[in-house]
Amino acid sequence: VMTQTPLSLSVTPGQAASISCKSSESLLQSGGRTCLYWYLQKPGQSPQLLIYEVSRRFSGVPDRFSGSGSGTDFTLKISRVEAEDVGVYYCMQGLHLPFTFGPGTKVDIE
């Protein structure tokens, strides 16, 4: 089971934001990879990959996005929120099928 906090977040542009994701089991794979991913679903769009394997930014993702954590506890940080960052952020475990998502954190701009 994946949980996220907070479920909603209102941020002033330029401020930092942080989202927590917790898994009910360790997401550390036997080969040493940790199978935790972050997606952003902007309004009216399909989800897009932001972060893979806890902390690796996907191609084209701005460096204001960063991921950290290990085992069961993970965090997504946005160093300086911009208007284009609004949407719902989901963490997902890819350790085993069925892949499962957290409930989502809705981020909007104050």
Partner 1 sequence: QVQLVESGGGVVQPGTSLRLSCAASGFIFTDYVVHWVRQAPGKGPEWVAVMSPNGDIKFYTDSVRGRFTISRDNSKSTLYLEMNNLRTEDTALYFCARDPILDRPDYFDYWGQGTLVTVSS
Distance separating alpha carbons of residues 104 and 20, to the nearest angstrom: 10
Whole-number minimum distance, CB 13 to partner 1, in Å?
A: 26
Residue whose CB is less far from partner 1, 83 or 97? 97
In this structure, what token pair is assigned to residue 71?
Answer: 């085992």
**Total number of residues that touch partner 1 (CB under 8 A):** 23
Could you say whether residue 3 binds partner 1 (CB under 8 A)? no
Whole-number minimum distance, CB 62 to partner 1, in Å?
A: 17
| Footprint of partner 1 on 9-28 (CB under 8 A) | none
Of the ranges 10-18, 44-52, 65-73, 74-82, which one interacts with partner 1 (CB under 8 A)?
44-52
In this structure, what token pair is assigned to residue 108?
Answer: 């909007």
Residue whose CB is less far from partner 1, 80 or 96? 96
Q: To which H or E segment does residue 34 belong? A: none
Single-letter amino acid code for the residue at 16: A
Of the ranges 8-16, 20-28, 67-75, 84-92, which one interacts with partner 1 (CB under 8 A)?
84-92
Backbone φ and ψ for 60, nearest 5 degrees, come out as 85, -5
Q: 8-31: b or e for each residue (b if 16 or more CB lie within 10 Å)? A: ebebeeeeebbbbbbbeeebbeee
